[in-house]
Structure 1
Amino acid sequence: MTPHPTKASRVRWLILAILFAVTTINYADRATIAIAGPELKKLLGLSPVQMGFVFSAFAWSYVLAQLPGGWLLDRFGSKRTYFLSIFLWSSFTMLMGTVGFLTGAAAVTTLFCLRLLIGAAEAPSFPGNSRLASAWFPTAERGTAAAIFNSAQYFATVLFAPLMGWLVHSFGWESVFYVMGGLGIVMAFIWRKTVYGPKDHPGINAAELAYIEAGGALVDLESKDKAVATTELDTWSCIRQLLGNRMLLGVYIGQYCINTLTYFFLTWFPVYLVTERHMTILKAGFVAALPAVAGFLGGVLGGVISDRMIKSGTSLSMARKTPIVGGMLLAMAMIVCNYVDADWLVVLVM
């Protein structure tokens, strides 16, 4: 009798689910300051410009820590580096709830410094996501995988903006930081128990490992047995090449534009709804989730369309560019909000 071939396990989708959950909490923690912002603004007497500095502090350290974060991922692997990242950013988020015990310049300075620390701690997150997706997913599935964990940034607002609005309304602004920071710490230990490289995961079978490796997955990338590279690289030469590549320059510009929109919805949109549209923080939490629903659905759909284009014979370049270009053209619709007054129209356009 001919033995039946072993059915491939599907552990890579469990890894993707963990990436999605971690990224959801990651973006929810970034958005805590926006939901608590109106109350903090009143408590500390912050001007819009000062609020802008507090909101921006995260991004400053996040950018500066990208290269060190990538080095840590390469040196120590995603499992350990990402665990420490989650634990630290969650702890700093919890500490933001203590700012109310301070007053004046001390409170503002502490708030600013904690946002800097959160940004630095979160720097390895998206490089870690991409690294694990490259290790676990064949090329033909990688667009869908990336779309799913990227869509978590919108799902975070869908799920947590109403919850955080309710927390501020019912228990005060401090509760947002304590609850979200606590969730992150729990997630850090779930990560530690469930995430491995393909060759080290106890749940993967040989059929799945062979399938993803044949499809282009970099299965040795996260292996414990992988020898530490000893080849010395000319770092500045590599950076010059990365900055001088025309295709990558297009990627950088596109990512800049996408992040501008994302951070508007994560930070200023809830504040805008409360201060300019005069909504309660509870209502603003629910309304802020509506554009994120569209972002979540559009993000997942973009990845699925991209992968289907590849399977139908479209070039890799065209398949990856089409959803991005289409999405950025649709984003131009935000300009319409300058010319309408009704709240429902503003929310519909957003």
Structure 2
Amino acid sequence: MNRFGVLALVFISVVINYMDRTNISVASGALSAELNLSSVQMGLIFSAFGWTYSILQIPGGIAVDLIRVRLLYPFILFAWSLVTLVQGLVSSFAALIGCRMAIGVFEAPSYPCNNKIVTQWFPEQQRAGAIAVYTSGQFIGLAFLMPFLTYIQSVFGWRGLFIISGVIGMVWAFIWYWLYRDPETPAEEKHIQRYSGADLWAALTHPKLMGIYLAQFCLGGTLIFFLTWFPTYLVEYRGLDFIKSGWLASVPFLAAFAGVLLSGFVSDALARRGYSVELARKAPVVLGLLLSGAIVGANYTEDTAWVIAFLSIAFFGNGLASIAWVFVSLLAPARFLGLVGGCFNFIGGLSAVVVPTVIGFLVTDGDFKPALLFIALLALVGSCSYLFIVGRIEKVSFSAATTTDFSEVKAG
């Protein structure tokens, strides 16, 4: 299989990944009505995925360094899809929390896997485009899936939505294993990776890496809103009917899809023409984060078309900034790619814990205006992080020196 076939496999896997993350948002109205759940309880259900997903990012990244992707990826894909199916069989708040946490457990290594696959199969000057293609799966897939998922629920109910979603993923896990092959890797990369406490500490605390971690958390704020509360916002706050909201919800996802592809391919084109990495890689991300702040504009209009326009601009910006995984490859030492990727997604994944819960409290009186302002402020903080904390983009080095320093601290 060539690298573009591999990229297609990753793209489809990302579509399924995000389908299983977000079908809860489509089901939320019917589910909360049948089980009599409050907005705070729904916020906790939305965030439960992020509890385990974020906590297990570092172990997940280490697993990616230790286990062949061809074995690890189909296993986690089948497992999270099975739990997705089980969601359609439960009937309590506690069971839903447990299922969402279990999905977070098994999805945790997925993005470090994606990043490792692209890093192994694509040269650096094509990598942002490849990241953009597979990342676009979370946007274009959901743009077309939102109407499809709302239709499935209208026919089969929220339980049928979970069961059908789960079956799709379980079948795809077998197809993925059958089609994918690991690339030949250099001999020096075939040893078993071992980490010290100092390696983990350095990966978590290096200033440049902390900058991209913080920005990824802020970037996740906009994404998580669209993956969780967005359908509820359209139906309950903006008063749209359920089926119509499914179609309108697809528009911002299409905008995000356009943003991520534009960002990836323009970024690669600038890199190939010799422009600095700050311009080629960082500029689209900073611009995208700034545009994400446009979400607050929806607070100042009652016109549905303008609401969708502001949300689409914001999600377009989120798409522009979604090539941020490229900074893991650019900054991380090669032998710690999975570890740094795990830390990156750990901090970024915390947004899936914090944001849905905060929104759940902010909208208890039915007013989404404070929630949109909160998302806009996060995007502003993210852009400042790249500008003032990350600084110059260059490979970091921490293992040997930091191990010595860490040992001395412990000895003292």
Q: Which TM-score bucket, shorter chain as reference? A: 0.7 to 0.9
Q: What pairs with 1:30-45 in structure 2 (closer than 5 Å)?
A: 30-45=21-36
**1:282-341 Cα deviation digits (max 9, x unpaired):** 111111111000001100110111111111111223311011011111111111111111
1:65-106: CA deviations, max 9, x gaps?
A: 11221222222211111111100010000111112xx3xxxx
Equivalent in the alignment of 1:228: 191
Q: Which amino acid aligns with 1:342?
A: D
Q: What aligned pairs does 1:125-204 form with structure 2 within 5 A after superposition?
A: 125-199=110-184
Supply the distance in 1 between the matched residues of 2:186 and 2:15 (Cα, whole angstroms). Answer: 27
CA contact (8 A) 1:287 1:347 kept: yes
**Aligned partner of residue 172 in structure 1, secondary structure:** helix
Q: Figure out how many residues of one structure are paired with residues of the other and give that number.
A: 311
Structure 1 residue 60 corresponds to structure 2 residue 51: yes
Q: Which amino acid aligns with 1:229?
A: I
> Secondary structure of the residue that 1:148 maps to in structure 2?
helix
Counterpart CA distance in 1 for 2:271 and 2:132 is 15
> SS where residue 98 of structure 1 aligns?
coil
In the TM superposition, residue 129 of structure 1 has moved relative to its aligned partner by 0.2
Question: 2:66·2:192 contact (CA, 8 Å) conserved in 1?
Answer: no
Give SS of 2:192's match: coil
Task: From 65, 70, 75, give the equivalent of 2:66.
Answer: 75
Shift in Å, 1:245: 2.1
Structure 1 residue 220, shift from structure 2 partner: 3.7
SS in 2 for 1:233: coil
Question: In the superposition, relative to structure 1, how do residues 260 and 281 fare at CA in structure 2: closer, same or farther (>3 Å)?
Answer: same
User: Tell me, what secondary structure is at the counterpart of 2:76?
Assistant: helix
Name the TM-score, length of structure 1 as normaliser.
0.86
1:21-36 map, 5 Å: 21-36=12-27
* Pairing of 1:1-350 with structure 2 (within 5 A): 11-99=2-90, 102=91, 107-199=92-184, 219-220=185-186, 227-229=190-192, 232-234=194-196, 236-350=197-311
Structure 2 portions without partners, runs of 5+? 312-412
Matched position secondary structure for 2:89 = helix
Distance of 1:287 and 1:227 partners within structure 2: 48
Which has the higher Rg, Structure 1 or Structure 2?
1
* 1:190 CA displacement: 1.1
Q: CA deviation at 1:142?
A: 0.5
Per-residue CA shift, 1:31-74, capped at 9, x if unaligned? 11000000011011111111000000000100111122122222
After TM superposition, give the deviation of residue 26 of structure 1 in Å: 0.3
- Per-residue CA deviations over 1:120-141 (Å, capped at 9, x if unaligned) read 1100110000000011001111
Distance in 2, Cα, partners of 1:198 & 1:323: 30
Runs of 4+ aligned residues of structure 1 deviating over 4 Å after TM superposition are none
RMSD (Å) for aligned C-alpha atoms: 1.6
Contact kept, 8 Å, 2:68 with 2:182, in 1: the verdict is no
| Structure 1: runs of 5 or more not aligned | 1-9, 200-218
Amino acid corresponding to residue 243 of structure 1 in structure 2: L
Whether the 8 Å contact between 2:25 and 2:229 is mirrored in structure 1 is yes
SS in 1 for 2:258: helix
Question: Aligned equivalents of 2:207 and 2:275: distance in 1?
Answer: 21
User: How many angstroms apart in 2 are the aligned matches of 1:329 and 1:76?
Assistant: 38
Deviations 1:228-252 (A, max 9, x none): 326x431x21122223322212211
The whole-number CA distance in structure 1 between the counterparts of 2:199 and 2:258 is 36
Question: How much does 1:226 deviate?
Answer: 6.4
Residue aligned with 2:238, SS: coil
**What's the TM-score once normalised by structure 2's chain length?**
0.73
Does the 8 Å contact 1:165/1:283 carry over to 2? no
Rounded Cα–Cα distance in structure 2 between residues aligned with 1:332 and 1:312: 31
Relative to 1, partners in 2 of residues 1:13 and 1:91: Cα closer, same or farther, differing over 3 Å? Answer: same
Task: State the 1:174 CA deviation.
Answer: 1.2
Task: Give 3-state SS (helix, strand or coil) of 1:31's partner.
Answer: helix
